[in-house]
Structure 1
């Protein structure tokens, strides 16, 4: 008789780290937001808010 207890795994086994669809969408979203912010600051820099 065996005295060991097999516990179910709490997390599924992950394959090798590669570029899946979810990660690709996240990277594209972050880059797009970053580019939009840079362009917005480039068009209307923060120093333009100073009172003359």
Structure 2
């Protein structure tokens, strides 16, 4: 009997890795957190306490 390779069933098939949904959601989350941090520091700069 020949050995046949099968795809793992855990991951869904996706298109090219360039524009997949998971990467888009990750970048949106990173950008949102970054904007919130910048706005928080802008409102209350850390250097103003010294």
Q: Under a length normalisation based on structure 1, what TM-score does the superposition of the two structures give? A: 0.62
Q: Under a length normalisation based on structure 2, what TM-score does the superposition of the two structures give? A: 0.64
Q: Which has the higher helix share?
A: 2
In structure 2, the CA distance between the partners of 1:39 and 1:30, relative to structure 1 (3 Å rule), is: same
Q: CA deviation at 1:16?
A: 3.2
Q: Which runs of 5+ in 1 are unaligned?
A: none
Distance 1:48 1:28 in 2: 30
- Greater relative CO, 1 or 2 (CA 8 Å, sep 6+): 2
Root mean square deviation of aligned Cα: 2.6
Q: Which runs of 5+ in 2 are unaligned?
A: none
Structure 1 outlier segments of 4+, above 3 Å:
5-9
Q: Which residue of 2 aligns with 1:46?
A: 46
How many residue pairs match? The answer is 47
